[in-house]
Chain A
Amino acid sequence: MPNILSIKDFTLDEIFSIFKLTDQLKKKSEPSLLKGKILANCFFEPSTRTRLSFEVAMLKLGGQVTNFVDLKSTSSSKGESLRDTLKIIGSYVDVIVLRHPKEGASKLAQEISPVPIINAGDGSNQHPTQTLLDLYTIHEAQKKLEGLHVALSGDLKYGRTVHSFAYIAHLFNMRLYFISPLGLEMPDPVLKELRNQKVKFSIHQELEEILPRLDVLYMTRVQKERFGKASFKEETEKSIIVTRDLLKGAKKSLQILHPLPRNEEIHPSVDETPFASYFQQAQNGLYVREALLASVLGAKT
């Protein structure tokens, strides 16, 4: 794949070929696969896991990494356009990982950069590498993706991880359930697209009523930094907190995923249950990103 910009660009074959490469890299490390290659981590927004996992993935494959994480230290604080910034960085390195607060930034980056672009989150639009690692984590545990019942819960309005996940559900004929605080519902354009794709979905207020049907419960944090508290009903946030008690009615094979960081939506006591897949998910992020870097740089294992 030349770039990783949108989850909508992926075919089934491409997804499974990334999974296959991830399996290989998870079993056996390839410390010189990307020797001599340099990655630029360009994060115009804060990140811990995504940035670090790309960095470690590159280092594990024998490549090198350059970073900027503090916008004050870059020329964008001097009013330089993203176009100019990326054009120059693209002439220094072999691949760019980009996170930017504006939606569509990675598509623009791809137009001007001479080297591959990996979208590590653009505003509230998409986070395609997160979706690939989510799918990999589900497939690894459940050995299938076809026909699974998946609930997307939390901040469905601004959460780019849930948008990316919803956009790919049609490829696997998944049944979706949406649960969010009032005011943070899945945006209409996403729902319209799902209807066009003939994806079955329903909208709920309480987790309890749908929990027994679920194969995957995908929790997300309410991103209060993206909006004021006034834009949603805070008291309704409390009805979508996962506790150990709530999980009594769940399928044994239920997986709880979370892109992390979490706040209060998953009680820490859930961490010790077999349902908790979020740490495994974060760990898989490393291997999936190794596979994606190898793929965009055309490296052969």
Chain B
Amino acid sequence: MTTQTRPVNAIECGTVIDHIQTGQGLKVIQLLNGSDQSQQMTLGLNFKSEAYTRKDLIKIEERVLTYEEASYIAILSPHVTVSIIRDYQIARKFKPKAPDFVRGTFSCSNPNCITKTEDILHAFYVSSLYEQTKLTCKYCEKTFSQQSILLKYDPIS
């Protein structure tokens, strides 16, 4: 008889973000205001995955993500799966789609962009192709990948 163990504990109520592209887990935490010490979060890195070989995973206790919040995560990791947990059961499961346009969440990486010197919200047009997301700055027209995009200090929540 073999004993099966889970790599991270199940949660009673909250959100599980699964199939995060490896290397993007920390950025997703940052996006969701991981520095807020009142939130209990579990971050798993480089878990084995049947679909994607390796993946990152995040469990957040007592916080139910909205579709809008989840759609920003899909910018950083296009194949992400979000499960809303209630009483240890999956109450809802969905694959969020990245929005076409995003304002205020990310920051332009071009040091010579006008957004670096003027007090304005950074804005990007978003396009996805397979596992790659492209964010094109509305102002300087430079394009960045989900790996190279910078996060704005203020989180989305």
Contact = CB atoms under 8 A, between A and B. Distances in A.
Nearest to A226: B112
A82 B138 contact: no
Contact of B141 (A8, A83, A192): A8
B120 A103 contact: no
A81 B114 CA distance: 11
A258 interface: no
A105 B138 CA distance: 11
Interface string A102-145: 11110110000000000000111110000000000000000000
Given A6-B141, A123-B140, A104 B115 contact: yes
A221 interface: no
B50 interface: no
A192 B148 CA distance: 16
A81 B137 CA distance: 20
Interface in B98-119: 110, 112-119
B114 A100 contact: yes
B141 A82 contact: no
A87 to B, nearest CB: 12
A108 B115 CA distance: 9
B113 A107 contact: no
A189 B144 CA distance: 9
Given A123-B140, A125-B141, A83 B120 contact: yes
Interface residues of A, number: 21
Contact of B113 (A83, A102, A189): A102
A62 B86 CA distance: 72
A125 B140 contact: yes
Interface in B105-152: 110, 112-120, 137-143
B118 A103 contact: no
B141 A123 contact: no
A107 B138 CA distance: 8
A82 B113 contact: no
Given A125-B141, A189-B143, A105 B114 contact: yes
Contacts of B137: 104
Given A123-B112, A124-B112, A104 B140 contact: yes
11 contacts: A83-B119, A83-B120, A102-B140, A103-B141, A104-B137, A104-B141, A107-B139, A122-B114, A124-B112, A125-B141, A189-B142
Given A126-B141, A189-B142, 17 more contacts: A82-B114, A83-B119, A83-B120, A101-B112, A102-B112, A102-B140, A103-B113, A103-B140, A103-B142, A104-B139, A104-B141, A105-B139, A107-B114, A107-B139, A108-B114, A108-B115, A125-B140
Per CB-CB distance, the 7 closest pairs between chain A and chain B, nearest first, are A104-B139, A103-B140, A104-B140, A102-B114, A104-B114, A105-B114, A107-B139
